[in-house]
Structure 1
């Protein structure tokens, strides 16, 4: 890739030209957003007012006759208006123009476009042909049979990255036909290709292959211990099914060998993101090209020399092509397997990584313990019934969420259970047959339970992990034909637990009395809900065996949820939540159906038992994010302690691919560490920069890594990827154009390896996640590699409000709750309204407190008074109108470290106000307390404090109440114990009592 980025090379265009025609890059010598990215430099040495340029440009774009051509006089830099086009095809074109400056150089721009749409989601619109020539000049052209030629001197791209050379210079149809004719007795032709020339086109042979001819062998050089790669370009002459690749050993003349077990095919076999072997069927339509990437793990202890072997390519019809592979092993050992030269595709091995897959316990969690059918985990217990479903779920967190209670908080009024109701309205009774613990490890406990009656067998495979995630695979098999009125799963919550709710079309609020919800996966990213209180709750989601994680954020509608065949039941299913006796019942029903003997359905569901751990308030007070690239000394002076480095910055330029400027990143991080700052970087997997070295190798995997789509977007994507992608975020300053990933795939293995490499080699202190497109398996792996060897591994998660049409009307907190056990802070705030939303919304959807987390505010700086009720400020230097430093100063002067946070939501809060719309949270210390009050009243009000002095631990007769001066927050003021305190609408106070 280095040579690709730096090249200035010569290329023999064809026999039409008697000279070598160079392909060059111009270092942005013209304006792309009017002239395009490509031009031909021609030289005119004749006389007269007409010149003819016969250009064999060999273009990969379709319908070039529908794109404008602009001729510019190099001497004056003015457009030549008198231009006539003839025979414009993908292979060549004839351009007649008036040489306005006589002899000299002229430029022919042949793919001009204009960018339309949002700057970060542009659409390159290619300009249509226009007519600017005068009729008089056109008459001259038509009458002139001896037009002097303008000679092609060079093909130029606006920069090296935009160049088509050499792998996107197409073969002519005549050349392609000759190749096909030479192999007319075959179903396919194989073109071996080295790793430095990724195959980029699927519809055209590159001219490079025409010049080389059909090769029966491949030769290259590698080092000991290197992750070596090469390609086999399969050109299908007819439709090919199930193409496979097999390898022999690579053997030296002395008998040493690289065993075939060290050689693999990336396109046909691999390891999934969850460590399972996967196999892919590769079908190739006729006249299409399929790159096959072959990986060789060169052993470190092998002798230098030439190693020979074979690669066998075979289709379903058993037609086989054989390529002789000759690999010369240098007498040099790579300590890093070549990882530090990723442009050589050495990191493709990462796609099959199993790094950090072992489900080891991650701090602060503790190993699972089981006694009888009771499983204990950090702050929680789950007691299982004989049928494998939860009999009771308990938490042991206090209302303040800063410690543990000895008395359990029961979540359920009775066990979780199914109802199978026949058409007579009778509930089928089950008899338990067996219960077995099938796996018992510190991080995982699994069990299997079987129940039956004379109609249905039910098998429950349960799985609980150390963080409170439980999954239930519920397999239902009909023993005979049966008609059922309904199948229901009942989760009966205690009223105390079911105080709040979010999900199922409900924003995070106090739970409504009744919810009636129906499946609508085409439009809504909803398959469950969180119901709970601050110190006890349960998120559940309904799945079946075919569940696939949908795309999230703006792209949900392009790949929505799949309707579970069991729960959805052709849209007959739904969820009702309502009070029933002493319970708040979540009735998950699927409606009437018939099952034939042997029919199988999966009524699977997942649970997350919340909260995950107590709140680390000291981390909140001490860890202050600076969310912008800046000089480290300037950042240190603000009082911030952690720098978040976004993408589109000098040390992290390309979105979700932080490997190109890594040396600059390391230098920056080293300088930050030297003055006591930590540095985290933006890196996730939702979309991937077009600058990724592995882009074309990933594209060769079909839709495994990248989502299918209609293409379009920035010009580079259209010119080099053609179609079948979703254009994502674009950074104009860097021409960084990302495309959307498909969901759960092997790129997550690469992501884990990449994060490990950045931690160990660059020294990052964590990551900043901008929404999340991976599941909890990958999150656990990430947390393990980020915290290895004593690294802090700080993770904060940002999300915009996803409760809208494009995002599927999901709550950010509900959508990402599976990741909460491994986060250190939330930043849920973009497009959130801090003025109109209720305290319950703040608590459940923004603060993180019911899950053991704390957060910060974002949109327009948030509401500083309401934020402090939850221990939140905004983030430096994100908002010009809300600087958190004055509040940080109060924290430091008061001494927030070691305080006990007692929120207004706790029945133990020692301070309340005389207005139930003006809330108070206490930060308590020996002999003093910081009281945060904030108003949700409709008008300015006066309130008095209602203080439990004994609980507060302060002598009322000696107490003083002062409001320290805080810039843009409050004036300095002193209150007596019984004073009325004026509170402005939407504002509040920070008061110190001591």
Structure 2
């Protein structure tokens, strides 16, 4: 009897609790329905630049001079300091007699003069104006104003509600706040919290079509739906499906996790739990390393948990049921039933063609193209003893694991290989350990040990010891000439040191030029000194070398994080390495001693306790990467604009670069929305013999990305933290904690800065692969780069897959300025050079005032096996031709490249050998060392480019080594072909003076008759 009564009481308690919950939900539902407003999207029905993006449509059916309305706008923003503009629907005129008697996020009570009597009126409630640069606008919301006259204002105070709200409109669907940014009121939120059995947090399962956007409030949609302990949806076989679990933390939550069970149908057929993951808690980074994230949720905030499910294509149709359980270290678990109806439809692409369904979130954990396979033109690495061979280069390792010698085998002209090595080092690279008494601590090495010998990667280790210190070296070299060193220094006992330094002794020949560490590209200064200043300078290394032999190095530690670049360095600068920086005591000294250029990278005085460790990590790049492909330069001609195919073909261009901000690639770094138009354009281009490349890089991302809010749910993993602001859409929807980037006014395309290295790079690789395979792009145009060489290699692999050309050109504005941290574009992006086909440097590169060797090292790409083009102010065509560079069609109005292209074709540039002024083998010089010459030679012909850096107009003799040129002077004519806007037609005798205008030059054809 007692047991039965206990069961009865328990059941009664459960029933009463359920009735109470239902009553609360019904009460909230009815209350909500009474206030429910219709939300609609206009078709750009007004000018947002003067009225904002949102309005309430009001219906006045009363009489008199005062209309009063209560607008339940449910806004996520703070309306306190934002103007409300009333407009007469009949005339479109602004109404001056307006009074706001109450306004908060929930509602506004407004009185206004109905100037046209009964009818429609509009209340615009977020008007703004754009200030600042057009491409970096600052949306400033207008302050409230008082325009009502006193008499009307006095009469309005006694007015009663006599106007209704017909609907709330947004300027277009993209600006709509419905439904996920229509807030629940505080009362509604409190009521739904009270209805929950577990008050630590609430879970709201949500469909993928409604990304959770607000962080500090729950949407009214959840009030309408009420609390639910299950989630149901439909999906297709083979689909990359996703859904959300929205957490609202009543109390702060620590270490939130999600656990999944198998999904099982009535036949006990299963979709394994391993097919489901939560991208907020687990993932695979851009370098294939699995990781977990600690998700903490602050009190009174919302955290979306995005769950992705790979549905097997072989699964049977039917209803599958499973569970998702949310756990937290400081709260009870909550289980949500997952009910998924699998239809008979089979998606062969995983649903990728419908990205608004968040089918591409799976790309965030992609490992596509990660195997370090050798990429053409590179060849597999070889190991013979302690010597590693690669394309055109060799490195011999010392017993301590550091380079004992580095050699290249490129000709001075960079057109091929030589058997005679170009040695870079006059002595082995070594670490020195200086003691306070001036002595040197000697570490004895136990030898080098190779741990991997593969075609793409060779790895080795070495350990060196003294009684006080141990140095462990772990290094790897890749097929393109990149070497990464992890150097761990451990104190075996307490020790005081005057300095720990790495010395790189270069030969005088290999140390001719320098770029980096605050030094602009050009001849290396006789002596050089540099100190760390990461707060202001994006400097941690330099390139030192010659045209056919060089070395770039960068100093890092185990905490290295790639900084932001391109205007944003100061917002996320380098971290000072604990080792090399040593509280800013470290630095670099470079001095020439006889035939050696000694690069001394010191860290200064320090003490180490027994067991302390320091990481003196560094990277090396051996340059050049490959010979120059001059034929590619002459035959591959970029047209950098979206124009009709026939128009472009008529110019002689062979490759079309499609920027963003146009009909087929409208949104920056998100070329997926108009891909059908893009494919149609590319198909036509291919049919007419042209290739098409598109703008797509990583640095900032359009707000049009379907995945914007799922990625925002990842915290700062993909989007960088910042002060917010910028274009109105960002302020109204992203809200805060971001950096506003490039903006295209015509398309209202507002970008957000990426954080640096993240899973977005996995998405980027997958996206590029999809564009190659499905749209047919022939390559990409990179506008600066915010990813590292790992991602670049992956990109090159997918772009060249299945025989696709995979052309990549890199544009950069000159990074040597305050906002970019005074780095050199060439030095900053050198790790990407092995995979580029051309450089385009760029805005703020001064082609008039800089020395020739600045062109050679910073602009031309020649010391790295590349060639380039000019941009700023159309470039200098005479100086450019010294390096084989032109401008790019049709980017500059004052530099039409077609006449020079015609001159190339008339001469027959393909098949020529380029022998520049920098080579001792150049067969032509001038009598003025400020007027330089480069020869483009082939049997019986030569095209000589001369250009002046002289301070004034001058005249020069050609100094021709006819034997080197391989031509008979008695049979050779020298003519200047007419080239529009470049030079008039003229014939010269070999002995006569050639006039050269300041900053200009000639293209001279030498032909043996």
Q: Paired residue for 1:88?
A: 103
Confirm whether residue 437 of structure 1 aligns to residue 414 of structure 2.
Answer: no
Instruction: Please give the alpha-carbon distance, in whole angstroms, between the structure 1 residues aligned to 2:947 and 2:666.
Output: 41
Aligned residue for 1:744, secondary structure, equals coil
| Among candidates 278, 299, 309, match of residue 286 of structure 1 | 299
Q: CA deviation at 1:731?
A: 0.5
The answer to whether the 8 Å contact 1:50/1:148 transfers is no
> What are the superposed Cα offsets for residues 239-277 of structure 1, whole Å, 9 maximum, x if unpaired?
111100000111111010111010100000000000100
Please give the residue correspondences for 1:689-728 in structure 2 after superposition, counting only pairs within 5 Å. Answer: 689-728=702-741
Confirm whether residue 348 of structure 1 aligns to residue 364 of structure 2.
Answer: no
> What are the superposed Cα offsets for residues 678-704 of structure 1, whole Å, 9 maximum, x if unpaired?
000000110000000000000000000
Q: CA deviation at 1:226?
A: 0.5
Instruction: Please give the alpha-carbon distance, in whole angstroms, between the structure 1 residues aligned to 2:895 and 2:29.
Output: 61
| Among candidates 110, 117, 122, match of residue 102 of structure 1 | 117
Instruction: Please give the alpha-carbon distance, in whole angstroms, between the structure 2 residues aligned to 1:973 and 1:76.
Output: 70
> What are the superposed Cα offsets for residues 177-232 of structure 1, whole Å, 9 maximum, x if unpaired?
11222237431110000100000001011000001111100000111110000000
Q: CA deviation at 1:553?
A: 1.1
Q: Paired residue for 2:46?
A: 30
Please give the residue correspondences for 1:824-839 in structure 2 after superposition, counting only pairs within 5 Å. Answer: 824-839=837-852
Instruction: Please give the alpha-carbon distance, in whole angstroms, between the structure 2 residues aligned to 1:456 and 1:148.
Output: 83
Instruction: Please give the alpha-carbon distance, in whole angstroms, between the structure 2 residues aligned to 1:455 and 1:124.
Output: 60
Q: Paired residue for 2:10?
A: none
Please give the residue correspondences for 1:439-518 in structure 2 after superposition, counting only pairs within 5 Å. Answer: 439-518=452-531
Q: Indicate the larger mover: 182-191 or 411-420.
A: 182-191
Please give the residue correspondences for 1:126-141 in structure 2 after superposition, counting only pairs within 5 Å. Answer: 126-141=141-156
| Among candidates 619, 629, 638, match of residue 606 of structure 1 | 619
Instruction: Please give the alpha-carbon distance, in whole angstroms, between the structure 1 residues aligned to 2:34 and 2:885.
Output: 72
Instruction: Please give the alpha-carbon distance, in whole angstroms, between the structure 2 residues aligned to 1:980 and 1:82.
Output: 82
Aligned residue for 1:65, secondary structure, equals coil
Please give the residue correspondences for 1:587-666 in structure 2 after superposition, counting only pairs within 5 Å. Answer: 587-666=600-679
Aligned residue for 2:295, secondary structure, equals coil
Confirm whether residue 57 of structure 1 aligns to residue 102 of structure 2.
Answer: no
| Among candidates 340, 349, 369, match of residue 336 of structure 1 | 349
Instruction: Please give the alpha-carbon distance, in whole angstroms, between the structure 2 residues aligned to 1:470 and 1:949.
Output: 43
> What are the superposed Cα offsets for residues 601-645 of structure 1, whole Å, 9 maximum, x if unpaired?
000110000000000000000000000000000000000000000
Please give the residue correspondences for 1:370-385 in structure 2 after superposition, counting only pairs within 5 Å. Answer: 370-385=383-398
Q: Alpha carbons of 1:353 and 1:70: their partners in 2 closer, same or farther (altered >3 Å)?
A: same
Q: Paired residue for 1:767?
A: 780
Q: Paired residue for 1:9?
A: none
Please give the residue correspondences for 1:97-496 in structure 2 after superposition, counting only pairs within 5 Å. Answer: 97-142=112-157, 144-145=158-159, 147=160, 149-183=162-196, 185-317=198-330, 319-496=332-509
How many residues are treated as equivalent by the alignment?
Answer: 980
Q: CA deviation at 1:591?
A: 0.2
The answer to whether the 8 Å contact 2:32/2:224 transfers is no
Question: 5+ residue gaps in structure 2?
Answer: 1-27
Aligned residue for 2:268, secondary structure, equals coil
The answer to whether the 8 Å contact 1:119/1:732 transfers is yes
Instruction: Please give the alpha-carbon distance, in whole angstroms, between the structure 1 residues aligned to 2:153 and 2:818.
Output: 54
Aligned residue for 1:124, secondary structure, equals strand
Instruction: Please give the alpha-carbon distance, in whole angstroms, between the structure 2 residues aligned to 1:148 and 1:691.
Output: 40
The answer to whether the 8 Å contact 1:13/1:20 transfers is no
Instruction: Please give the alpha-carbon distance, in whole angstroms, between the structure 2 residues aligned to 1:564 and 1:139.
Output: 68
| Among candidates 60, 65, 75, match of residue 44 of structure 1 | 60
Aligned residue for 1:319, secondary structure, equals strand
Confirm whether residue 933 of structure 1 aligns to residue 946 of structure 2.
Answer: yes
Instruction: Please give the alpha-carbon distance, in whole angstroms, between the structure 1 residues aligned to 2:964 and 2:108.
Output: 88
Please give the residue correspondences for 1:771-786 in structure 2 after superposition, counting only pairs within 5 Å. Answer: 771-786=784-799
Question: 5+ residue gaps in structure 1?
Answer: 1-11
The answer to whether the 8 Å contact 1:541/1:605 transfers is yes
Q: Paired residue for 1:812?
A: 825
Q: CA deviation at 1:21?
A: 2.9
Q: CA deviation at 1:65?
A: 2.4
The answer to whether the 8 Å contact 1:627/1:646 transfers is yes
Instruction: Please give the alpha-carbon distance, in whole angstroms, between the structure 2 residues aligned to 1:16 and 1:84.
Output: 27
Instruction: Please give the alpha-carbon distance, in whole angstroms, between the structure 2 residues aligned to 1:40 and 1:977.
Output: 82
Instruction: Please give the alpha-carbon distance, in whole angstroms, between the structure 2 residues aligned to 1:435 and 1:397.
Output: 28
> What are the superposed Cα offsets for residues 92-148 of structure 1, whole Å, 9 maximum, x if unpaired?
111111110000000011111111111111111111111111111112112x35x35
Q: Alpha carbons of 1:141 and 1:760: their partners in 2 closer, same or farther (altered >3 Å)?
A: same
Q: Indicate the larger mover: 808-817 or 176-185.
A: 176-185
TM-score computed with the length of structure 1 as normaliser: 0.98
Instruction: Please give the alpha-carbon distance, in whole angstroms, between the structure 2 residues aligned to 1:669 and 1:835.
Output: 37
> What are the superposed Cα offsets for residues 76-96 of structure 1, whole Å, 9 maximum, x if unpaired?
111111111112110011111
Instruction: Please give the alpha-carbon distance, in whole angstroms, between the structure 2 residues aligned to 1:184 and 1:34.
Output: 48
Q: Paired residue for 1:991?
A: 1004
Q: Indicate the larger mover: 868-877 or 18-27.
A: 18-27
The answer to whether the 8 Å contact 2:29/2:224 transfers is no
The answer to whether the 8 Å contact 1:797/1:826 transfers is yes
Q: Alpha carbons of 1:13 and 1:935: their partners in 2 closer, same or farther (altered >3 Å)?
A: farther
Q: Alpha carbons of 1:14 and 1:517: their partners in 2 closer, same or farther (altered >3 Å)?
A: farther
Instruction: Please give the alpha-carbon distance, in whole angstroms, between the structure 1 residues aligned to 2:171 and 2:918.
Output: 61
Instruction: Please give the alpha-carbon distance, in whole angstroms, between the structure 1 residues aligned to 2:679 and 2:640.
Output: 18
Q: CA deviation at 1:22?
A: 1.7
| Among candidates 780, 799, 806, match of residue 812 of structure 2 | 799
TM-score computed with the length of structure 2 as normaliser: 0.96
> What are the superposed Cα offsets for residues 53-78 of structure 1, whole Å, 9 maximum, x if unpaired?
1111100002x122111110100111
